[in-house]
A and B are shown apart, each in its own frame.
Chain A
Amino acid sequence: MKSNNNSDQHQLQDFFEESLCGFIIADAKGIIIRGNKKVIQWSGYNHEELKGKRFSDILSISGRIYYETHLWPLLRMQGFFDEVMLEIAHTSGTKLQVLVNASEHHFDKDNPEFVRFTLLKCSDRLRYEQNLRLAKVETDKELAHQKANVLLREQLIAVLGHDLRNPLSSIMMATSMLENSPDGDNAKLGTIIKRSSFRMQELINNILDFTITRLGEGIIIKKEKILIMPVIEQVITELTLSVSGREIKLTCDHTLQVYCDPDRIGQLLSNLVSNALSHGSKNNPVEVKVYQRENLFELSVINKGEPISQESQQHLFEPFTKEGERPSRHGLGLGLYICAEIARAHNATLTCISNHFETRFQFQMESKTGEE
């Protein structure tokens, strides 16, 4: 029995001394009673020198202050601390980072009997963390730089778009005069230029709206109670003029009043009808239907022809969406994105249903027959 006990004792001793982490036992005041081989190796003190030192005596200066002002209080108050990185200062002047767990051992509730410390080397880990931290700083810097660039570019586009409007309106004015010219050829050329200018104006407006939403302001609307019919008719007249030979069929109650931003609803309709005219079947009319059903105001634009593919439908309302397979003369692909933004500003929805029977874009807004 006795020899067994001795060999157990010996094994424990060996485990303590040869362990791959550092062990320290200190008295209740934090004075070291004993440390194992790792502690001796890491600190440079021998067994005798270690004995009687405070735990903080083997730490670097910042570790020592941290320990005395933060960790010792924490240990006394909660009985332990875990996973704290500290630095052991070797007598030769080198330093080693260790993770420390400490725990008070109590025989009764109030009086700690001794304190255990376990130390694990973590200098490689620290280097890894420092690299991560550096990489993050670099990435943050790069990101801030890129963000500033993007903002600048969007501001440039906004200014450019805005400034293009003035010369364009001069062109459009001159074109109207040309259209009225008695010379037949000139009048014909005037109509062509007018159509293109009209299209160009639409594109510029879309770009401006797009940059406004991108710059974080969102589309701002001014709602008022209006008769909707004249707004719709105006858009249809303009589009009929610019795309000759196509029929646009309108169903609308001329007494219907709606609380909305008339310019924006006009813009939305214009975008939707332009799309329908250019993508829908050329042999069928485009239909515009305007209804008030109970508390819902509905505006639909319908065309016949090839349906929009399932894949395209998923990204329809995102900016710069182009109708993949189909040849397009529709520029930037901002039209539907702007429409969706206008709907959003009205707290309304804009949806698309497209199948072999028809393609229908539907704007739905809660509205109590013209009330707010």
Chain B
Amino acid sequence: MSLINRNNVVVKGKGDQAIMFVHGFGCDQNMWRFVYPAFEENYKIILFDQVGAGKSDLSAYESEKYSKLEGYANDIIEIAEELKLQDIIFVGHSVSSMTGIIASQKAPSLFKSLILIGPSPCYINDENYVGGFTRPQIEELLESLDNNHLGWSMTMAPVIMGNPEKKELGEELSNSFCQTNPEIAKQFARTTFLSDSREIVSQVDIPTLILQCSNDVIAPREVGEYLHERIEGSTLVLMEATGHCPNLSAPEETIREIRKFLT
């Protein structure tokens, strides 16, 4: 059962068909708070926090293991096996889209389809490939993380207080979401922004939906199109939602597209 605690795994919903929502870099399973309730009636919903995020067990964090996306992919497989899941619909946000692809290739029997929100196989431009960032930009990012410049891996705890306008976020929740351990956030950023999964994406052979946002600085449109080309039979949807987190900015549109894909 320690696995369940390690990743703060939460299982909800009335259905049998498993749908697993996996958050990316930044925040935790709260990322899905506006999306998953739409699926509770007909699906078995699996939510969890990546090790280092939210209410996961911070002591389970190993720099070596999580320096590669494969470390996170292994966790996904372990959770699926622990819960005895099969034919999972995998919904990954941001970097976890790639983690999901890695997991689906390591354990093909576990996954039925992939829904990738704001995916990017490589963030750095490379010859004809457009990733959205130049290498010096990513280096600047990593350097600023190392210097703790801007305090951007700061613990969010002091920021988070009662929210009069959103009463549904009780005390308990408001103290934990988006809380980031500075050291782990730093390493997760490194793992994420230096990752290059371009070689494996063409091997995806299960139904795949790519949800591409408009005006996403983290994963620009070219990246979505690149993935659509490489993943045979994939569906690419260019969303009206802007930014990198349609699951928060445009939950209705996100739910609608996922439903359309699943029926």
Query: A residues engaging B (CB < 8 A)?
Result: 29-31, 54, 56-57, 60-66, 68-70, 72-74, 76-87, 97, 104, 106, 109, 133
Contacts and interface: CB of A to CB of B under 8 A. Distances in A.
Contacts of A72: 243-245, 248-249
A317 to B, nearest CB: 42
Most buried by A among B30, B148, B160, B165: B165
Contacts of B31: 73
Contact of A78 (B94, B141, B166, B189): B166
A62 B25 contact: no
A79 B245 contact: no
Contact of A56 (B141, B180, B217): B217
A31 B217 CA distance: 13
Interface residues of B, number: 44
Interface in B147-186: 148-152, 156, 159-160, 163, 165-166, 169, 174, 177-178, 180
A62 B152 contact: yes
Contacts of A84: 151, 159
Given A62-B145, A69-B25, A78-B163, A87 B243 contact: no
B183 to A, nearest CB: 15
Interface of B: 24-27, 30-31, 33, 94, 133, 137-138, 140-141, 144-145, 148-152, 156, 159-160, 163, 165-166, 169, 174, 177-178, 180, 189, 193, 215-218, 241-245, 248-249
Contacts of B169: 77-78
Nearest to A104: B165
A69 B163 contact: no
A234 B91 CA distance: 83
Given A54-B215, A54-B217, A81 B159 contact: yes
A50 to B, nearest CB: 15
Contacts of B244: 68-69, 72
A143 B19 CA distance: 54
Contacts of A73: 26-27, 30-31, 178, 245, 248
A308 B168 CA distance: 69
A126 to B, nearest CB: 8
B220 to A, nearest CB: 12
Contacts of A83: 159
Contact of B137 (A57, A61, A77): A61
Contacts of B215: 54
Given A54-B217, A72-B248, A84-B159, 15 more contacts: A61-B133, A65-B189, A65-B217, A66-B152, A68-B245, A69-B27, A74-B27, A74-B156, A74-B159, A74-B177, A74-B178, A77-B166, A77-B178, A77-B248, A78-B163
B178 to A, nearest CB: 5
Nearest to B162: A78
Contacts of B174: 78
B93 to A, nearest CB: 10
